[in-house]
Structure 1
Amino acid sequence: MNEKKGLIHIYFGNGKGKTTAGMGLCARAAGYGYKVLIYQFMKDNTTSERNILKCSENITILDGLEQEKFSSSLTEEERRERRIFYTRQFQEAVQQAERGYDVLFLDEVIYTIQAGLLDEEIVTDYLEKKPEHLEVILTGNAPSSKLIEAADYVSEIKKIKHPFDSGQRARKGIEL
């Protein structure tokens, strides 16, 4: 039986671990010798996982904004700017991925779509015509049925309990 390459993964839900799962898959792929490209939507360039993953010669992490806000805190002008920015970042990421990468991780792209900061049709159109060999990982809260249908793997990460619910802020090295 031939090994199929170029599958689409979705990690979604309200639980902690979506990005962690995607980054773990990226580390595994890089360890195997695959070239990995990562872009994190809705996050600044300070997440801790970037520090260790940048040490791998097989992983490239594209920079985003130096400072990011929650989408609910954006003004209408900032929302317009983000829509332009994230559309451009998506296009840059997929174009770069097509130039010699085996894995493309679009962290929080589903959340970005939900927040109205990236058109879902741009993403679904790309998934339909992406290079056959390219493995694509998407994360976020609630993917549409169209995204779920396009995916080969869909894993829901459900929160049962989280320290945030009792006022605990995100901790460096654990959530950040």
Structure 2
Amino acid sequence: MVVQLETPNENLTLSLPYSIEGLVQVFTSTHRSFFTSVMAQALRIAGQGTPVLVVQFLKGGINQGHQRPIRLGQNLDWIRCDLPRCIDTPHLDESEAQALQKLWQHTQKVVCETKYSLVVLDELSLAINFGLIPETEVLAFLAKRPAHVDIILTGPDMPKSILEVADQITEIRRSHQP
């Protein structure tokens, strides 16, 4: 039997006999064409009512930045770096480096505010490997994030230290010859 409440009880809290711990998932591949499957997962989870944040560190070109997130549905916020181009090199000018650092700082801040239950950090491995975001900062962020927040990290050549803290690693390979 299904019962519909006339007025939701916003003060209702559930007490579970255990604590829920978020997972660190890694999606990696030698090529950069698997974001669609990660985005599909984020959309599915957001559609079920879970707040989701997708952060694309190296994508630009649409005048977005963290001040202007795109909202997909009620539960998915999508932000990109406020850059006029997509980053494909470790060589950034000062304004590009600042934009990337602002996005990284914003991401850490909103995750600690516990607004989101799932956070996708797209191409973070490239930002680390390019020397744009320090690997030690990413490891500290993963360690100090709120316990219930799931994190998905994507990108090729994920650093070994991040793979070691991951709960799940998915390597996407092409099974056909070009």
| TM-score normalised by length of structure 2 | 0.74
Contact 1:11 1:21 in 2 (8 A): no
CA deviations over 1:119-152 (Å, ceiling 9, x no partner): 1111111001110010111101011111001111
Please report the RMSD computed on the Cα atoms of aligned residues, expressed in angstroms.
2.5
Contact 2:111 2:146 in 1 (8 A): no
Any unmatched runs of 5+ in structure 1? 47-52, 164-176
Question: Which piece of structure 1 moves more, 59-68 or 123-132?
Answer: 59-68
Matched, 1:97 2:111: yes
Give the structure 2 partner of residue 154 of structure 1.
Answer: 169
Matched, 1:33 2:49: yes
Aligned residue runs from structure 1 range 122-141, under 5 A:
122-141=137-156
Sequence identity percentage: 25
CA distance in 1, matches of 2:23, 2:137: 18
In the TM superposition, what is the alpha-carbon distance from 1:15 to its structure 2 partner? 3.5
Aligned residue runs from structure 1 range 69-84, under 5 A:
69-72=86-89, 75=91, 78=93, 80-84=94-98
Any unmatched runs of 5+ in structure 2? 1-16, 63-69
4+ residue segments displaced more than 4 Å: 1-4, 160-163
Contact 1:106 1:139 in 2 (8 A): yes
CA distance in 1, matches of 2:138, 2:27: 16
Matched pairs, number? 154
In the TM superposition, what is the alpha-carbon distance from 1:12 to its structure 2 partner? 0.5
